[in-house]
Structure 1
Amino acid sequence: MTVKTISTTAFNDQKPGTSGLRKKTRSFMVPHYLENYVAATFTAIGGGSGKSFVLGGDGRFFNREAIQTILKMAAAQGAARVIVGQGGLLSTPAASHLIRLNGADGGFILSASHNPGGIDADFGLKFNAANGGPASEALTARIYDATLAIESYDIAYVEDVNLDTVGQTRIGDMVIDVVDPVVDYSDLMASLFDFDAIRALFAGGFSMRFDAMHAVTGPYAHKILEGTLGAPEGTVVNGTPSEDFGKGHPDPNPIWAKDLMDLMLSEAAPDMGAASDGDGDRNMIVGKGTYVTPSDSLAILAANAHLAPAYRDGIAGIARSMPTSAAADRVADALGVPCFETPTGWKFFGTLLDADRVTICGEESAGTGSHHVREKDGLWAVLLWLNILAARDMTVAQVQADHWQRFGRNYYARHDYEAVESTRAEAMMTHLRGQLDTMAGQSFAGLTVTKADDFAYTDPVDGSTSAAQGIRLFFDGGARAVFRLSGTGTEGATIRLYLEQFVDDGDHAAPVEQVLEQVRKAALEVSDLPALTGRNTPDVIT
């Protein structure tokens, strides 16, 4: 094995976001760009000598080439072992599981999650730590610092590794294990849920449509749903991973999973619909004629988790990201367990999970998961829903209506203003921050502000702090609006406006947009968003 040291120049745009580094694919394809970031990651973790890693991605364009580069750089670092998903494929939750199962020192996950794929679309790379979870704020900072200081990197000059055949090979002294990406994850799911009850559900005529969105979850869903659990062939659609996700947008929401939504709102609807995203960590749940918001899904899963074997003895607590609705808080109160409100980003759940402070976590951006891994897990959520339906002998709509009757309903929506000119988006946030100290007691669009702040978080386990995580406006009558700049885009800035209104009594069947109209008007009035950004309407409403 020949190792060469390559001189390089630092790039000034390699600061990781909430889920690693995401850029346009062509940016990652620029000579030295990927290599610089990988080398910086090795520097930040104290090198790769003698260590073991997990490696894989969602199969998007440039996935295979990037994996070959990382393998060669790991060999040059003196890594002892790398576990790679066959074909370069690993869902994000499966990668997290493999890290934990094998006691690896971390993992490189190649994905831009729910972002589109292709040479003119998006690519991403993140490092997950030894607990299986995303890099901490401190590690992320060290990676960024290393990207700015880099002057050279080492890489082995060897032939590409065969990624398509399960088995063991080597680069020099480094062992490479190419593994079936599904088997270990499938075994984990079987240990959590009552597969016999779910098999009986399907055997009894229960119908389902799972849209894998041409993304990495397809092989997992085919194996578990249609294979192990006996769902009819054809239950899983768009189940073959594609480099450009079938030229679609692999984001499981009513906008991008429109075909599934149209089916579920039609007379031909199956009993349940579900979808997952590019790397398999997000999910969407739909019943006949009813959509379950991610915030409600988190709350319903937490309230009913005891119906699955893994959670039969109860849960230690719940954690939700700050923009997620307070529906989960009401469940935690009823169960007598804590509910932690964290910044957006799954890494903030890691310390709570490791300390056994919580069992179930979720974000409004369609991510839910539990202590079984340190990532959100789309298929896990679908399987827990199936377990609940089998145990309760109810439809999705009935479970949801029963939940609202018991806990009340947090009407909720997210308005995304995408690719806003960054300076204008920052100007709007600055405008809001400038009003925070005097906003309480003022009225906007007929709603009075009771509290306003810029959310800050202190981790109750390790004491780390995170400031400026999003602006929260609380109004009388149970309304809330949140403004936040997203860290997952690759072009301009995405402003996310979250709207919420709690309704305790009633049939809870009013149209969402009708219930949220007043808080929407109040939020736009106080932020002056249309004038400051030049946007009168959001690009996406979910």
Structure 2
Amino acid sequence: MIKTVTTTPYSDQKPGTSGLRKKVPHFQQKNYAENFIQSIFDSLEDFEGKLLVIGGDGRYFNREVIQIAIKMAAANGFGRVMVGQGGITSTPAASHLIRKHGAFGGIILSASHNPGGPTEDFGIKYNIGNGGPAPEKITDAIYARTKVIDSYKISDADDINLDQVGLTELDGMQVEIVDPVADYAELMETLFDFDAIRQHIAGGFRIAFDAMSAVTGPYAKEIIERRLGAPEGSVRNFIPLPDFGHHHPDPNLVHAKHLYDEMMGPNAPDFGAASDGDGDRNLIIGKGIFVTPSDSVAMLAANAHLAPGYASGLSGIARSMPTSGAADRVAEKLGIGIYETPTGWKFFGNLLDEGLATICGEESAGTGSNHVREKDGLWAVLLWLNILAVRKESVKDIVTKHWAAFGRNYYSRHDYEEVDSDAANGLMDNLRNQLSSLPGKSFGDLKVQAADDFAYLDPVDQSVSKNQGIRILFEGGSRVVFRLSGTGTSGATLRVYIERYEPDASRHDLETQSALADLIAVADEIAGIKVRTGRSEPSVIT
């Protein structure tokens, strides 16, 4: 039976770049999740009788909210809901399900790379019919609705058995529990040369993939070990856990340091990789070399033609503004378009839908293509494996040859996490006040060429997104970017991106932080990071 429940609004349900994220106890407040889900439905039109995909990364509170979402979908008039078995669906796989089955949209329960557990992070976001994150006009409408919501609709039926594949019914709505891996694995087989990769592995090529006790475990186990023939144990931490095994499921050099240390060691595998909480990010490490996400985007684009799914070439490359300019040089050489967007995968959606871009990437370890409308960690790993199988060279050789051909973009991101929000906003306001006076100023050997607060004009729908990050551009191609992240759940995270372009191959073997030392010092001098945040060093350097 459908019932209508009276509720009162919460004032803090504004979606960030990847949906609404809060601590689990926050979501456990009375009607908190229900209010937000109802606000999603109230902001949509013409979905009666249609299909809704519901996906989750398996983190704590995932199963409970899936049950709520199913019952609310039935009460609000959806005709069918599709859910991954056990409540498990990676974010890219959920995007594929939406696209393959012509769903109206999807609700994805995830806080991506953030930690999970009873007192850790949880998130809800809505994806539209193209499989991608909802654009700002929809998230703005959802937020507006959360501020005035006074009731929600929900079925009082019993919970669905999420562990049994098959069809059932709930208050007149079909509920289908599906194998979350099958459709995705089938898609990967159409994009990559599995035979070539299989032969390369059979020849002794060794892989270490860390699923970080998160959602990509079942996907990597099926594809890398069962379909590609990598030895058992190549995929590690492959059972998704609600608390990610008490680890932080962020595939960076801090939280995957054990993998980095192994790949730098004497008996390292040939290829190391990891993915994050919901499967949309990736870490790539070769024997003796870490590949920065920015470089990975550029190198995948330069070599994508070696994979069957991209043999006809790329229409264009898109990158987020803070991502290094390495991909720009590849696009220039290939004679294709390059698009610089704000941070947030949703900004790539129009470019992909219109065929303007084929491969997209972000410095925050997100890479993907037009096969879905989300970044896709395992896709990036498989494309690397395809390239390595065809070129029959090491990761290090491919990287150094790429730098020799295109130049090297020394690049690093410094994160100052859980900074006092007032202090962080004050720092950004102070930077904005300096923008007009910075051009022409010199700081040692560095001369400011331009400074702005990045704004993006979408070439497809002409929408404008302002205040997307402070850019300070120096003569010769170096730059520093400052922005506040929208993916945390407490305080503010200040991200500082530092980049130097080096065309001289004889200077491509410098240590990254040393190569960027003068820019790091200038960033602090201009922004007053230490003084304003009280931090003597970043929380995380990647």
**CA deviation string 1:470-494 (max 9, x = no partner):** 0000112321000000000000000
Structure 2 residue aligned with 1:21: 20
Q: How does 1:197-346 map to 2 (within 5 A)?
A: 197-346=196-345
Q: 2:540 corresponds to which letter in structure 1?
A: V
Contact in 1 for aligned 2:318/2:340 (Cα 8 Å):
yes
Letter in 2 for 1:541: I
Structure 1 residue 446 displacement after superposition:
3.8
Aligned to 2:96: 97
Q: Give, in whole Å, the separation in 2 of the partners of 1:132 and 1:168.
A: 23
Deviation at 1:3, TM superposition (A): 1.2
Tell me the equivalent position of 2:537.
537
Structure 2 Cα separation of the partners of residues 422 and 444 of structure 1: 29
Aligned to 1:522: 522
Contact 2:47 2:104 in 1 (8 A): no
Would the aligned equivalents of 1:446 and 1:522 in 2 still touch at CA under 8 Å? no
Q: Unaligned regions of 5+ residues in structure 2, if any? A: none
**TM-superposed deviation, 1:366:** 0.1
Q: Which whole-Å CA distance do the structure 1 matches of 2:311 and 2:505 have between them?
A: 32
Summarize deviations over 1:268-325 as a string: whole Å, max 9, x none: 2100000000000000000011000000000000000000001101000000000000
Q: What CA distance in whole angstroms lies between the structure 2 residues aligned with 1:310 and 1:166?
A: 30
How far the C-alpha of 1:47 sits from its partner, in A, is 6.5
Question: Which residue is 2:485 aligned to?
Answer: 486
1:445 positional shift: 4.4
Deviation at 1:48, TM superposition (A): 4.4
The CA deviation at 1:16 is 0.1
Report the alpha carbon displacement of residue 534 of structure 1 after superposing the two structures with TM. Answer: 1.2
Query: Is the 1:53–1:105 contact (alpha carbons within 8 Å) kept by the matching residues of 2?
Result: yes
* In 1, Cα distance between equivalents of 2:473 and 2:153: 52
The separation in 2 between residues aligned to 1:144 and 1:39, in whole angstroms, is 11
| Aligned-partner Cα distance in 1 for 2:501–2:127 | 36
What is the CA-CA distance between 1:391 and the residue it aligns to?
0.6
Partner residue, 1:71 = 70
Q: In structure 2, what is the equivalent of residue 54 of structure 1? A: 53
In 2: Cα distance, 1:411 partner to 1:525 partner? 20
- 1 CA distance for matches of 2:200 and 2:51? 41
- Secondary structure of residue in 1 paired with 2:85: strand
1:56 and 1:90 in contact (8 A); partners too: yes
Aligned twin of 2:500: 501
Give the secondary structure class of the aligned counterpart of 2:396. Answer: helix
Moved more, 376-385 or 39-48: 39-48
- 3-state SS of the aligned residue for 2:388? helix
Task: Give matches, 1:12-161, under 5 Å.
Answer: 12-46=11-45, 48-161=47-160
Distance 1:382 1:124 in 2: 25
Cα pair 1:444 1:526 within 8 Å, conserved: no
Contact 2:413–2:498 (CA<8 Å) still a contact in 1? Answer: yes
Q: Which position in structure 1 is the counterpart of 2:455?
A: 456
- Aligned partner of residue 526 in structure 2, secondary structure: helix
Contact residue 484 and residue 494 of structure 2 kept, 8 A: yes
CA distance in 1, matches of 2:267, 2:412: 27
Structure 1 match to 2:358: 359
How far apart, CA to CA, are the structure 2 residues paired with 1:249 and 1:444?
38
User: How many pairs were matched up?
Assistant: 541
Separation of aligned partners in 1, 2:128 and 2:77: 18
How far residue 114 of structure 1 moved from its aligned partner, in angstroms, is 0.2
For residues 110-149 of structure 1, what are the alpha-carbon distances to aligned partners after superposition, in whole Å with 9 as ceiling and x for unaligned? Answer: 0000000001110001000000000001001000001001
**How far apart, in 1, do the equivalents of 2:446 and 2:283 lie?**
32
CA contact (8 A) 1:444 1:525 kept: no
Which deviations, in whole Å up to 9, do the C-alpha atoms of 1:4-50 show, x marking residues without a partner?
A: 11111100000000000000011111110000000000011127421
Output the CA distance in 1 between the equivalents of 2:257 and 2:158.
Answer: 43
Match of 1:411 in 2: 410
The separation in 2 between residues aligned to 1:379 and 1:14, in whole angstroms, is 31
User: Following the alignment from structure 1 to structure 2, what is the Cα–Cα distance between the partners of residues 427 and 445?
Assistant: 26
* 2:479 maps to amino acid: R
| Structure 1 segments of 4+ aligned residues over 6 angstroms from their partners | none
The match for 2:513 is: 513
Q: Is the 8 A contact 2:48 2:78 kept in 1?
A: yes
Match of 2:467 in 1: 468
Output one character per residue of 1:488-512: Cα deviation in whole Å (capped at 9) or x when no partner: 0000000000000000012311100
Does the aligned pair in 1 maintain the 2:110–2:122 contact within 8 Å?
A: yes
Q: In structure 1, what residue type is equivalent to 2:406?
A: F
Query: Quick check: 1:368 aligned with 2:367?
Result: yes
Instruction: Encode CA deviations 1:227-279: one digit per residue, 9 max, x unaligned.
Output: 00000000000010000000000000111001101100111210000000000
Return the alpha-carbon distance in structure 2 between the equivalents of residues 213 and 394 of structure 1: 27
How much has 1:424 moved relative to structure 2? 0.3
Q: Report percent identity of matched pairs.
A: 60
Preserved CA contact (<8 Å) 2:155 2:171: no
TM-score by length of 1: 0.99
Please state how far the C-alpha of 1:533 moved relative to its aligned partner.
1.4
Corresponding letter in the other structure for 2:237:
N
Which structure 1 residue ranges, 5 or more long, are not aligned? none
Task: Give the aligned residue type for 1:380.
Answer: W
The amino acid that maps onto 1:309 is P
Taking the aligned partners of 2:477 and 2:2, their CA distance within structure 1 comes to: 62
Residue 161 of structure 1 deviates from its aligned partner by: 0.1
Q: Secondary structure at 1:159's aligned position in 2?
A: coil
Kept after mapping to 2: 8 A contact 1:344/1:363: yes
Looking at structure 1, the residues matched to 124 and 488 of structure 2 have their Cα atoms a distance apart, in angstroms, of 14
Contact 1:445 1:521 in 2 (8 A): no
1:529 Cα deviation after fit: 1.3
Return the alpha-carbon distance in structure 2 between the equivalents of residues 140 and 79 of structure 1.
20
- Tell me which amino acid in the other structure corresponds to 1:537: E
Aligned residue identity for 2:48: S
2:235 counterpart letter in structure 1: V
Tell me the distance in 2 between the aligned counterparts of 1:43 and 1:70.
14
Is the partner of 1:87 in helix, strand or coil? Answer: helix
Aligned amino acid, residue 258 of structure 1: K
Tell me which residue corresponds to 2:437.
438
Contact kept in structure 1, 2:157 and 2:171, CA below 8 Å: no
Where 2:8 maps in the other structure, the secondary structure is: coil
1:51 Cα offset (Å) = 2.0
| CA deviation after TM superposition for structure 1 residue 78, in Å | 1.5
Deviation at 1:374, TM superposition (A): 0.2
Cα distance, 1:198 vs. partner? 0.3
| Amino acid aligned to 2:468 | Q
